[in-house]
Amino acid sequence: MEPKDYVEVECLHETVQGVLLPSNQKDFTVIKLSNGYNIGIHKRNIKNIAVIEQKKEHKEKPEKVSQNEKLPKVTILHTGGTIASKVDYTTGAVHPQFTPEELLGLFPELKELANLNSRLVANLFSENMRFDHYNVLAKEIEKEINAGARGIIITHGTDTLHYTAAALSFVLENIPVPVVLVGAQRSSDRGSSDAAMNLISAVAFAVNSKFSGVAVCMHENDDDTNCVVIDGLHARKLHTSKRSAFVSVNRPLLAKVNYETKSISHISMPEQTSGTFALKLFDPKIKIGWIKSHPHFSEDEIVKDVDGLILEGTGLGHFPIEQVDALTKEHVKIKKKLTELAKKIPVVMTSQCIFGRVNMNVYSLGRTEQEMGILGNGLDMPPETVFIKLAWLLSNFKKDIPALLARNFRGELSERTEQDTSY
* List of residues 6+ apart from 344 with CB closer than 8 A: none
CA gap 137, 135 in Å, rounded = 5
pLDDT in tens, 162-186: 999 999 999 999 999 999 999 988 7
Beta bridge partners of 53: 6
Task: Spot the catalytic one: 75, 79, 82, 164.
Answer: 82
Give catalytic status of residue 29 as yes or no: no
Please determine whether the domains at 6-53 and 288-405 fall in the same fold group of CATH: no
Give catalytic status of residue 159 as yes or no: yes
Architecture of domain 73-279 in CATH?
A: 3-Layer(aba) Sandwich (3.40)
The predicted pLDDT at position 125 comes to 84
Give catalytic status of residue 82 as yes or no: yes
Task: Spot the catalytic one: 158, 164, 350, 385.
Answer: 158
327-335, long-range: CB < 8 A, 24+ apart? 330/297, 330/298, 330/299, 333/299, 334/297, 334/298, 334/299, 334/302, 335/372
The predicted pLDDT at position 76 comes to 92
Find out if CATH 2.30.30.520 is the number for domain 6-53: yes
CA gap 253, 263 in Å, rounded = 15
Give pLDDT < 50 ranges for the chain: 423
**Burial readout 178-216 (b: 16 or more C-beta within 10 A, e: otherwise):** bbbbbbbbbbbeeeebbbbbbbbbbbbbbbbbebbbbbb
Task: Spot the catalytic one: 237, 256, 335, 389.
Answer: 237
The predicted pLDDT at position 94 comes to 56
pLDDT in tens, 206-230: 999 999 999 999 999 988 899 999 9
Q: Exposure of 310 by Cβ count < 10 A (0-12 exposed, 13-18 middle, 19+ buried)? A: buried
Beta bridge partners of 19: 6, 32
In this structure, the strands spanning 308-313 and 288-292 are parallel
Question: Residue 107 CB: number of other CB atoms within 10 A?
Answer: 19
Task: Spot the catalytic one: 5, 159, 189, 224.
Answer: 159
Contact yes or no for 246/238 (Cβ under 8 A):
yes
Question: Residue 164 CB: number of other CB atoms within 10 A?
Answer: 24
The predicted pLDDT at position 97 comes to 56
DSSP 8-state class, residue 110: G
Architecture of domain 288-405 in CATH?
A: 3-Layer(aba) Sandwich (3.40)
The predicted pLDDT at position 423 comes to 41
Domain boundaries, the chain: 6-53, 73-279, 288-405
